[in-house]
Amino acid sequence: MRVLMFSWEYPPHVVGGLGKHVAELTTALGGQITSDGPVHVDVFTPRNSGGEYKEVVSEFVTIYRVDVPPLDPTDNFNSVVSSNLFLAEAAGPIGDEYPYDIIHVHDWLVSKAGVTLKLRWKTPLITTIHATERGRHRGYVPGESSHQIDRMEWLSCFEAWRIIACSQFMGRELQDYFDVPANKITVIPNGINLRDSQECRNDNLTALRKKYAPNDEHLLLFVGRIVHEKGLQVLIRAMPRILAEHPNTRLLVAGKNGSSWWSLAYELNVDQAVTFLDYVSNQERDCLYRLADAAIFPSIYEPFGIVALEAMAAGCNVVASSVGGLGEVVRHLHNGLTVMPDNPMSIVWAVNQIFADPEGAERRRANALSEIMSVYNWTRVAQQTAALYELIVTERRNTEW
């Protein structure tokens, strides 16, 4: 079975979680056995951060990095869509000679390339929607650029034979926003690779504790992009009450440009208890997970929440908003604690629970690690994806086009 995949991100070009998702998925997907033989995947992606044009990852996976024009910052949408034509032109001759069974695109950023070749070859299209523009803006489409993205997301869903959503929440969002039939949506969660969890030597932990908790402070940790939807502002607003009840507490913020929220911490008179780390490496992040009393993810909008899985894999207590996919990954009092979104006092309650009941926190950590190994491993995700491919290929054979 031959699969053509388009993704705007692929290492070394990684901006958010999408690039890592595609890299992990294709690695696990290549070679999966179907009734049409093993899965072979060709990934086409813009060469936005260098890398070889053609990279043979394995006998089943090949990456093609395509040179595209620089994005126009004054017209981001149309410059992205124009770049899709370069991706389609690069993939077209290969598919003409060796036909693909499936075209698989990730998000609106590459949907035009997928739709173009779907219509050219009459090949089934799968769209994976990782997030929506309307969802990021809490149900609204605030301007022309957002409206264009929203319409492209609709087109990608409309043209798709099937849609993959990463959570039940995302599936419902697609039904509500784009009138997608429920039977057109397949929910396949994101995965996490435990081998990527970085080792953290005792001397590293000791050094970090000396640096951030020299007086044996409690440590709370936020990891994520510094954007409104991730809810860092809600966590900072919880800090005055947390410090009133637990004065020996410090919040570490790991995320590029996190200090943009320093003024709020200063206004609330908690700046002395909040350390903005800016960007941290994966190794330092995983060491911080092992050091912290809890990782807190107070998102206002979150289709899935891979950061929660990363924290769980590192053995950290997790507190997360009961919003979107986070509310499906983190199950209250079982593998973590959930809090009401946009509610600082709910975060205060959760922190009190963790500090007051360390045995309960330990049970939740153990449950979380067990679920990661059994439910959120990439082999299982790849098997579900390959099964969907096989189903669609069979349906295509029995469908006139």
Distances (CA, A) of 394 to 118, 159, 211, 387, 388: 17, 18, 58, 11, 10
More confident residue, 329 or 117: 117
Per CATH, 2-191+377-397 and 194-374 having the same topology is answered yes
- Coarse DSSP helix, strand, coil percentages of the chain, rounded to the nearest 5 percent: 50, 20, 30
What is the per-residue pLDDT across 266-312, written as a single tens digit (0 to 9) for each? Answer: 999 999 999 999 889 888 999 999 999 999 999 998 887 788 999 99
- CB-based contact 30:383 (threshold 8 Å): no
Cα separation, 374 vs 261, whole angstroms: 38
For 330, phi and psi rounded to 5 degrees? -95, 115
Cα separation, 95 vs 88, whole angstroms: 10
Tokens of 394: 């069979």
What is the per-residue pLDDT across 193-236, written as a single tens digit (0 to 9) for each? Answer: 876 655 788 888 889 999 999 999 999 999 988 888 899 999 99
Cα separation, 189 vs 77, whole angstroms: 28
Helix H, strand E, coil C: the string for 57-90 is CCCCEEEEEECCCCCCCCCHHHHHHHHHHHHHHH
**2-191+377-397 placed in CATH 3.20.20.70:** no
Cα separation, 321 vs 295, whole angstroms: 12
- CB-based contact 155:133 (threshold 8 Å): no
The ranges assigned to domains in the chain are 2-191+377-397, 194-374
The partner residues of 295 in beta bridges, in order of sequence, read 221, 318
What is the per-residue pLDDT across 53-105, written as a single tens digit (0 to 9) for each? Answer: 999 999 999 999 999 999 998 999 999 999 999 999 999 999 999 999 999 99
- CB-based contact 354:317 (threshold 8 Å): yes
Tokens of 71: 């994005």
b (16+ CB within 10 A) / e for 43-67: bbbbbbeeeeeeeeeeebbbbbbbe
pLDDT at 249 over 90: yes
For 315, phi and psi rounded to 5 degrees? 85, 25
Q: Residue 13: helix, strand or coil by DSSP?
A: strand
Amino acid 282: pLDDT: 84
Amino acid 195: pLDDT: 65
Tokens of 68: 């595209």
- CB-based contact 10:22 (threshold 8 Å): yes
Number of H helices, E strands in the chain: 15, 16
Closest CA to 87 of 131, 47, 40, 51: 47
CA 308 to centroid of chain Cα atoms: 10
Cα separation, 5 vs 104, whole angstroms: 5
Q: Radius of gyration (Cα) for the chain, nearest Å? A: 22
What is the per-residue pLDDT across 185-198, written as a single tens digit (0 to 9) for each? Answer: 999 998 988 766 55
Least confident of 30-34, 173-177, 188-192, 345-349: 188-192
Q: Which residues contact 265 (CB under 8 A, 6 or more apart)?
A: 236, 239, 271, 274
The fold of 194-374 is Rossmann fold (3.40.50)
